[in-house]
Amino acid sequence: MSTGVVLLNFGEPAEATRENVVDYLERIFFNNAELEGDTTEAEARERSRTLAERRAPGLIEEYEEMGGGSPLNPQARSQAEALEAELRDRGYDARTYLGMQFTEPFIDDAARRAMEDDVDQVVGLPIYPLCGASTTVAALEELTEAVEDLDWDAPVHEVTGWHKHPLYNRIRAETVADFAESKRLTLEDPNTEVFFSAHGTPRHYLEEGSRYDTYVDEWCEVMASMLDLDGYTLGFQNHENRDIPWTEPDIEEAIEAVTADRVVVEPVSFMHEQSETLSELDDELREEAEAVGLDFYRVPVPHDDDRFATVLADLVEPFVSEFDPSYYQFRQCQCKDTPGTMCLNAPDSVPVPELESD
């Protein structure tokens, strides 16, 4: 059986033209229009365009400082190529496709290409380790809708949260440790604070049942354990261009509370270098940190780690080889309750069987 694996991602403009950036932002704002409350589609589109035009100049400036555009898409293509090679090395007939939520190649483009290649089934694999409503869940819903709109009867398998994959955790922990060593920093030094910076999310999604904040907390706890840390700081990269509550604390507030001499910033869950690492962290957060007297170090995203293709292939393998995903500890997703949507996030509690007495 042939399989088309669609790597789902956010996307960012590779070239920072005004047209590219405004269209990109407009799609994002319209996708989250429900956050503004009840409104018509026409009103939502008009407001999204207004917000995009207002935000575009600042974002264009950020991209220009990064070299003229985002490196996210080229890095994502390299990951897709590495995954396809790994699956073929394992003996599977699989092809990979990129599907971006907000820039080309779009998710419906990926679905169309997979249909044209006449694959037998589709696997949707978001490159978001931590399952979120506007990222993981929204991207998978868009993929399923794209297949349906094509009147294509290929089955679609959905993978959501996978931050508990052991090798993924090892890659991230080793990246932090190796970076600290390269900078001659000792993470156990009380004057060195590991600062986890996670992508923020509107609290609206958490109130509707998203477990994203829980996943962030538990992942940071595991990283702290693997790195043998006595403590750490967590902050969220919130985009407060809308008057709605977001996850707390903001990274700006969190950085001001650090009492150490220096921070080692780990960009939680990011699997590409993009505006939120190269600008929000390397420029904006660095400036905030230095303003309060902190030395600033930012851990690079391990997007090109050779082992990452192994992680992704492990996530896909049950579906391309047609064995029960539960064998690899997959279970029904709690954040996206469509039957058959699978993740690696264990339930809150597992009943312990009673032992029979003699």
pLDDT at res. 47: 87
pLDDT at res. 86: 98
Q: How confident is the model at residue 349 (pLDDT cuts 50, 70, 90)?
A: very low
pLDDT surpasses 80 at 39:
no
pLDDT at res. 45: 87
Q: What is the residue-wise DSSP string for 175-200?
A: HHHHHHHHTT--TTSTTEEEEEEEE-
Q: Angle of helix 138-149 relative to helix 107-116, nearest 10 degrees?
A: 40
Integer Cα distance of 137 and 158 in angstroms:
9
Could you tell me how many residues make up the chain?
A: 358
Residue with tokens 């082992």: 307
Integer Cα distance of 331 and 328 in angstroms:
9
pLDDT at res. 36: 63
| Strand segments (E) across the chain | 3-9, 94-100, 121-126, 156-158, 192-199, 233-237, 262-268, 295-298, 331-332, 342-343
Q: Which of 259, 255, 195, 181 has the alpha carbon at shortest distance from 229? A: 195
Whole-angstrom CA distances from 163 to 96, 116, 126, 241, 346 are 21, 32, 11, 28, 11
Q: How confident is the model at residue 38 (pLDDT cuts 50, 70, 90)?
A: low
pLDDT at res. 239: 81
Dump pLDDT digits (tens) for 210-267.
Answer: 999 999 999 999 999 999 999 999 999 998 666 789 999 999 999 999 999 999 999 9
Q: How confident is the model at residue 355 (pLDDT cuts 50, 70, 90)?
A: very low
pLDDT at res. 16: 87
Mean pLDDT of 339-347: 85
Rg (CA), the chain: 21
Q: Which of 353, 307, 36, 335 has the alpha carbon at shortest distance from 212? A: 335
Integer Cα distance of 155 and 187 in angstroms:
47
Q: What domains are there in the chain, each with its CATH number?
A: 18-65 (no CATH), 166-298 (3.40.50.1400)
pLDDT surpasses 90 at 81:
yes
pLDDT at res. 43: 86
Q: Report pTM.
A: 0.92
Dump pLDDT digits (tens) for 133-183.
Answer: 999 999 999 999 999 999 999 999 999 999 999 999 999 999 999 999 999
Mean pLDDT of 197-212: 94
- Name the strands in the sheet holding 295-298, side by side, starting at the edge strand that comes first in the sequence: 233-237, 192-199, 262-268, 295-298
At position 77, the amino acid (one-letter code) is: R
pLDDT at res. 244: 84
The answer to whether 158 and 341 are in contact (CB under 8 A) is: yes
Q: How confident is the model at residue 11 (pLDDT cuts 50, 70, 90)?
A: very high
